[in-house]
Amino acid sequence: MEKITTLFVRDYSASPRQGAPLPVTREVAPGCEWVLASEGTPTRKWDGTCVRLDEYGDWWARREVKPGKQPPPGYAPISTDVQTGRTVGWEPIAQTGWAKAHAEAVHNSTAESAGTYELLGPRINGNPDGYEAHVLIRHGWAPLSVRTDCATAPRDFDGLAAWLRARPYEGLVWHHPDDGRMVKIKKLDFPDPRKDNTP
């Protein structure tokens, strides 16, 4: 899975708090204009970790490798971000810290077809959705009530920021119907509203 482009350009001059992402500016990222033109279907971005079932039945975990760091054994790189130098790729799930949680999720889920899934549950990212057990959710899927709600999301900077802050979702991912392009935005991508001086 290629790293999904963020809807707005990041502010690389900002100094976010430790561990927080660089905030976005009001400038639409090149190639993402179709989202503001009301094209594509918005879906909920789940706050877990990305995993993939390949066509051979093997499971992989998404892994970013920082510049100068040694990739783990069996690592399959996909692409490198020119801004940060980080390489995105896949690591065999069995050698990750999520192996046990993933095995439980496979047992609890019906994930049998090749594709990408979100691993969610008590030991993943602080479990913001409060799952009692580990589960796998196929990317792009959500309950009807969530899909209906996501369809109401505005597509402008201020509207999106307010809409996401009013919901428990990590963010949104838009899927283009013609060619499968995807664009994302996370609630934490927007500058802190108490000190928002975004250009």
For the chain, the domains span 5-195
Average pLDDT over every residue of 1-7: 81
Between 3 and 150, name the one with better pLDDT. 150
The owner of tokens 């013609």 is 178
Q: Which pLDDT does position 171 carry in this prediction?
A: 95
- The helix or strand, by DSSP H or E, that contains position 159, with its residue range, turns out to be helix 157-165
Report the SS3 class of residue 19.
coil
Closest CA to 57 of 94, 98, 97: 94
pTM of the model: 0.81
Q: Which pLDDT does position 31 carry in this prediction?
A: 95
Amino acid, res. 69 = K
Q: Which pLDDT does position 84 carry in this prediction?
A: 83
Provide the pLDDT confidence category of residue 111 given band limits of 50, 70 and 90.
Answer: confident
Residue 75 and residue 92 in contact, taking contact as beta carbons nearer than 8 Å: no
Provide the pLDDT confidence category of residue 180 given band limits of 50, 70 and 90.
Answer: confident
The torsion angles phi and psi of 125, rounded to 5 degrees, stand at 50, 35
Q: Which pLDDT does position 18 carry in this prediction?
A: 61
